[in-house]
Amino acid sequence: MNQRNNRRLVLFPVPFQGHINPMLQLAQILHNRGFSITILHTDLNLSIHPRTPTSPFAPSAMASANRRCAAPFEERLREEVSSPDGRDAPVTCLIADALFRFTWDVAERAGVRRMVLRTGESRLEDPVPEFPPLQVKDLPGINTAEPELLDQLLHDMTEGIKDSSGVILNTFEDLEEISSRNFPIGPFHKCGPSSSGSLLAEDRSCISWLDEQAPNSVVYVSFGSIATVGESEFSEIALGLADSQQPFLWVVRPGSVGGSELLEKLPSCFLEALEERGKIVKWAPQQEVLAHRAVGAFWTHNGWNSTLESISEGVPMICMPCFSDQKVNARFVSDVWGVGVHLNNGLERRKIAEAIRKLLVEKEGEEVRERAAQFKEKANSCLRQGGSSFRSLDGLANHILSSESFVFGSNKSSA
């Protein structure tokens, strides 16, 4: 661990599981670099906001969080900044989730420099050459009953990022081209252990179950903390898993459209197969699962954390993106990095079984498996001394420490 540097950072995550995890990991990374850390958090949990397969993301919940959090956040930030008894290290910088747009005005009023953490794919602002002036984020992708609110949210996020003093990304240079004001210091979770930010209890019985399985034989199935599946999709997934003849570990989260209750409705052939070679849990210690020698494929919704966690462990993916940046992530996984296959044109048990067998056992999947192993090596080497993320973290620490000369408002031109 580096020496303490008598500087404090205030971190502020959005209360979605996929946003809390990387923020806590970032906290650990920066603490290891000598910074003192204060994490402010809301008492909301947006991951449990009601949603359906046709409207999985509720922009109104995020918009309401932006409205409701502004005043209490300002109050807390001012308290942190004033630290009247001088016991704490002075606040040098606020690092806020990119979705919390209001933090810009609040930071300005409190006289604190603000950086943002982007927890998702960073290509959303890339142009689509065939359809100028469209950007990737404009392509149809997010099913929502509130399209205008969603547009506003994405617009605010983009503006908030432009206004920040720098952007921290959970990615690494071998994966994507990164513009100069960004700090790609990922994969965060490989930088060392951090405290668990799980909003659900992890069922660790799956690790002892994995210990009993053959190397690279298990398909791990999880669609993250928000995505939901309908009743017919749910049965098709179950039947595809049964048909694959491979062991599987399946996360069926409470609330994923009555998931747990649906288990009882599954055909008896599936439940028989399950007894022999399947394990279902409500929430898994995912990073540990993906790092387990028994896991040979990951059937995922391609949330950015899941995608990066899989790449970092060299686990090839079966991509089933649902909304938001997941579609872009999945396209990169299959077509650019070549570390996974897409489940195209809907869910069908035969195709599911084929995809699983391809990645786990068939010769056809060999190239994908090899490329996945190569990316694992890249993900690890970028963190070693001299690697791209290692250097970027140095740059980030220097950037934060340079805040002594920072005059509020001047960051737009200097960024």
In the complex, the residues that contact ligand UDP under the rule CB under 6 A are 16-18, 21, 198, 222, 224-227, 251, 283-284, 286-287, 303-306, 309
Nearer to ligand UDP, 206 or 273 (CB): 206
Nearer to ligand UDP, 201 or 407 (CB): 201
Side-by-side strand order, sheet with 317-319: 278-281, 248-251, 218-222, 295-300, 317-319, 340-342
Buried-state track 7-17, b at ≥16 Cβ within 10 A, e below 16? bbbbbbbbbbb
Closest approach, Cβ 198 to ligand UDP, in A, equals 6
Nearer to ligand UDP, 102 or 250 (CB): 250
Q: Which two tokens stand for residue 74?
A: 């300002």
| Residues 186, 188, 190: CA angle, nearest 5 degrees | 100
Closest approach, Cβ 18 to ligand UDP, in A, equals 2
Closest approach, Cβ 326 to ligand UDP, in A, equals 7
Nearer to ligand UDP, 310 or 392 (CB): 310
Helices (H), 332-387: 349-360, 366-381
Closest approach, Cβ 119 to ligand UDP, in A, equals 7
Nearer to ligand UDP, 91 or 311 (CB): 311
Nearer to ligand UDP, 227 or 341 (CB): 227
Nearer to ligand UDP, 18 or 243 (CB): 18
Question: How many Å apart are CA 320 and CA 229, to the nearest integer?
Answer: 11
Looking up tokens 């993250």 gives: 224
Closest approach, Cβ 124 to ligand UDP, in A, equals 14
Contact 197, 17 (CB under 8 A): yes
Listed in sequence order, the residues at least 6 apart from 32 whose beta carbon sits closer than 8 Å to its beta carbon are: 1, 2, 191, 192
Nearer to ligand UDP, 166 or 224 (CB): 224
**DSSP per-residue letters across 243-291:** HH-S-EEEE--TTSSSHHHHHTTS-HHHHHHHHHHEEEESS--HHHHHH
Nearest to 51 by CA among 61, 38, 37: 61
Nearer to ligand UDP, 64 or 198 (CB): 198
Contact 16, 225 (CB under 8 A): yes
Closest approach, Cβ 269 to ligand UDP, in A, equals 26
Nearest to 41 by CA among 85, 100, 113, 122: 100
Question: How many Å apart are CA 366 and CA 393, to the nearest integer?
Answer: 35
Looking up tokens 């500087």 gives: 7
